[in-house]
Structure 1
Amino acid sequence: MVDIEELVPERVGGFCGILAPFIAYGLISISILVNPDFSFASSALSELGATDVAYNNIFNFGLIFSGLLFIIFLVGMFRLTESQVGLVGLSGIIVGAICLILVGVFPMGTDPHWLLALLFYSFSIGGMIIFGLDQFLEFEHVWGVLVWSNLAFALIAISLVAVLEPGGVAIYEVIGSIPIMQFGIVFGTRLFAE
């Protein structure tokens, strides 16, 4: 029987973790450029992939492809933990990545879209909280602090934006995705260097 972490070589997993955020943000940026009606002040990112929007496939493909890359990365990450806590955390983030793929498969204008988007953020952030706890329990305090401080930054930033200038949902979506993307880049680099 093959251990799950052996399915993905370290360097491949690390590369996928580094690449996924650039694919996601790159294709989201292209989607914004080709959709002049989009506004961070009044839109949701999901509007870029809505069923009635021209070029929605750019946005949706970005979510699907980056979600697949993130799953490959996370399977490679299993080698960085031996505890059940870490495995639960990483599994939660994998469920979040699956939900991200499904957000691209079921774009805005389809029934499950909003639920899947909510589940993406919930499972990803919940999994990161649990994985951060694992890093503390495994005496990898620097990594635990990094994960939790990124999440705290996002929470504070979202709170400030909501109080000072409540605008479109897109602002909150981008801020909320930053810790997830930083997780991919930082731990992808760590995995790549192992």
Structure 2
Amino acid sequence: MLQGSYPLSSLPCGSVPVTYSPYGPKQSPRGPVTDAENGTGGRTTEPGHDPEGIDHQIRARPGGNRPPNPGTPPGGIDHPRRTGPEGEPPIPGGEFLHVRSGDPTTVSATPDGPESPRRPDPGRIPDPLDRALTWSGAAAVVVSFVAIVASTLLAPWFSWTGNALSELGAPGEPYAWLFNWGLILGGLLGSVFVCRVALESDSVVGWAGSALLLAATGSLAAVGAFPVGDPRHGPAAVAFFVFLTYGLVADGSARVLAGRPRTGLLVVWLGMANATAWLLWALVAAAGDAPGVAIPEFVGALAMAGWVYPATQRVRRSAAED
């Protein structure tokens, strides 16, 4: 089987090489080859004699002295014309034809000889970095929930129905640093993950969803950076839940429009669950008995965590396809 590269000048025009031996003369199985078959200008090549060190077994063009072998394209292959990959125009330039091993009729040309290895796409994220970005969402969920749950367990005064989660990070609390830094790190990791997910978006709705979710994760980090008592804490907390609701609805809608209705509807309903929790809290508060906001806050955190799983799976599938 031919494997390697040969100058065009060594290939006889109007014929397709089937077997070349780069190791020296080989016995031709069919006897002398005449000038009508190999275009040697009257010379006859005897069996076992190969003055060029190459065993020529030639497929003749249709209409020649020999019928074409099976698989020979009509008219043979015009060797001086550099041929490109199947379905593509000829490759300009280059001085070599490269015949792929295993298929003597498949010929391709490269300017520098044999086909070079596939070069990596300069715009593609390196695999180790891509894996880190892919799992940053799961890391954000773990860090945030560990900080929240651990803080509630370490604060015996905390009540799910009478307090807000933000009170766990109030100045003066012995474990305020755990709660606040958990939200800061969780928000930063979540922002990194949202940016990675945004690379998979292919519609305006998807990009809008990613932008809103990025604003939500940034607001989450701000909640930890500006604890209760800081005038910026309230706006940051409200921004997190508002951006989260609209971001989930937009991201889920983009999935539905892209032909993924199951995960799309799931994400949309996560956003609606967050909004519903706050609506129910408002109705109870309007009745005259204002409860703490810890429960709707925790529902929002669960909605964010629920979005991370399908988003991670989507990024992993995309990486596997690449």
Is structure 2 residue 98 aligned with structure 1 residue 98? Answer: no
CA distance in 2, matches of 1:86, 1:114: 28
* Alignment map for 1:27-176 (pairs within 5 Å): 27-156=147-276, 167-176=291-300
Q: Any stretches of 5+ residues in structure 2 without a counterpart?
A: 1-121
CA distance in 1, matches of 2:276, 2:152: 26
Give the length in aligned residue pairs. 192
Match of 2:314 among 178, 182, 190: 190
Deviation per CA, 1:53-108: give whole Å up to 9, x if none.
Answer: 22100000110011111111111102321112111110111011111111111000
Is structure 2 residue 143 aligned with structure 1 residue 23? Answer: yes
CA distance in 1, matches of 2:265, 2:274: 14
Q: What is the SS of the residue equivalent to 1:94?
A: helix
TM-score, normalisation: structure 1:
0.87
Q: What is the SS of the residue equivalent to 1:80?
A: coil
Deviation per CA, 1:15-57: give whole Å up to 9, x if none.
Answer: 1111211111111111112111111021000000112322100
CA distance in 2, matches of 1:126, 1:111: 24
CA distance in 2, matches of 1:191, 1:172: 29
CA distance in 2, matches of 1:78, 1:7: 17
After superposition, the Cα gap between the structure-2 partners of 1:61 and 1:179, relative to the gap in structure 1 and judged at 3 Å, is same
More moved, 17-26 vs 59-68: 17-26
Structure (1 or 2) with the larger CA radius of gyration: 2
C-alpha contact 1:129 1:148 (8 A) present in aligned 2: yes
CA distance in 1, matches of 2:266, 2:134: 17
Q: Residue type of the partner of 2:245?
A: I
C-alpha contact 1:32 1:38 (8 A) present in aligned 2: yes
CA shift at 1:167, angstroms? 3.0
Deviation per CA, 1:123-176: give whole Å up to 9, x if none.
Answer: 122111111121122222122111012233444455567668963210111112
Q: Residue type of the partner of 2:293?
A: V
C-alpha contact 2:246 2:271 (8 A) present in aligned 1: no
After superposition, the Cα gap between the structure-2 partners of 1:163 and 1:187, relative to the gap in structure 1 and judged at 3 Å, is same
CA distance in 2, matches of 1:92, 1:158: 19
CA shift at 1:6, angstroms? 4.5
CA distance in 1, matches of 2:218, 2:276: 27
Q: Any stretches of 5+ residues in structure 1 without a counterpart?
A: none
C-alpha contact 1:14 1:187 (8 A) present in aligned 2: no
Is structure 2 residue 298 aligned with structure 1 residue 178? Answer: no
C-alpha contact 1:85 1:130 (8 A) present in aligned 2: yes
Q: Residue type of the partner of 1:188?
A: T
TM-score, normalisation: structure 2:
0.55
